[in-house]
Amino acid sequence: MKNMEIERKFLVRGESYRELAESSSHIRQGYICSGHGRTVRVRIRDQRGFLTIKGPSDDGGLSRYEFEKEITLEEARQLMDICETGVIDKRRYLVKSGQHTFEVDEFYGDNAGLVMAEVELQSEDEPFEKPDFIGQEVTGDRRFYNSHMRKMPFCLWKGTIPSEFRHLELE
């Protein structure tokens, strides 16, 4: 299927990703609607706007349909005003590892203290090199979906993950 997103998510330990990053950007995103695994998301990444539609994921949470379209910054700001309650605020670091680039998200606000990395793949069984900061895999764990964290932020359940993955200095 065209526009299929295949990604794996991991908790991050330590802060070495910051030094290894080729670049970073600030992201704020809201959800126009979310439910039954489907989302319509508005994102402002630095000074650019995006509208993204995602379908439900497969049973393991590894792949799902994704459609993304760049929109104007003004359109994105207007759409943010009609989003559901709760905004995701994060800094994204891009870290190259072998043939892949890991997107490492450092969350702020009610999700402060959580740092996750994801890698996009061409196939579900594609091999990839894990950087040293990659920890426990959380692919398919809905607690770590941004659309879920806007409703049930990390500050409410951070005690459920090992302390090595809680970045308290970021809170």
Q: Are 114 and 94 in contact (CB under 8 A)?
A: no
Which position among 17, 31, 108, 145 bears the catalytic label? Answer: 31
Whole-prediction pTM: 0.92
- Token pair, residue 91, equals 């800094």
- Token pair, residue 3, equals 């526009």
| 88 vs 18: CA distance, rounded Å | 20
**Half-sphere exposure of 149 toward its Cβ, with a 13 Å CA cutoff?**
23
Whose CA is closest to 154, among 162, 142, 144, 164? 144
> What confidence tens digit (pLDDT) does each residue in 88-138 have?
999 999 999 999 999 999 999 999 999 999 999 999 899 999 999 999 999
| 63 vs 83: CA distance, rounded Å | 25
Predicted confidence pLDDT, tens digits, the chain (171 residues): 568 889 999 999 999 999 999 999 999 999 999 988 899 999 999 999 999 999 998 767 889 999 999 999 999 999 999 999 999 999 999 999 999 999 999 999 999 999 999 999 999 899 999 999 999 999 999 999 999 999 999 999 999 988 888 885 554
Active site residue 31: yes
Q: How many C-beta atoms surround the C-beta of residue 79 within 10 A?
A: 19
Q: If you write DSSP's letter for every residue of the chain in order, what string do you get? A: -TTEEEEEEEEE-SSHHHHH-SEEEEEEEEEEEEETTEEEEEEEETTEEEEEEEEEE-TTSSEEEEEEEEE-HHHHHHHHTTSPS--EEEEEEEEEETTEEEEEEEE-GGGTT-EEEEEE-SSTT---PPPTTEEEE-TT-GGGSHHHHTTS-GGGTGGGS-GGG--GGG-
* Block residue for tokens 């760049």: 70
Residues 6+ apart with CB under 8 A from 18: 93
pLDDT of 3:
84
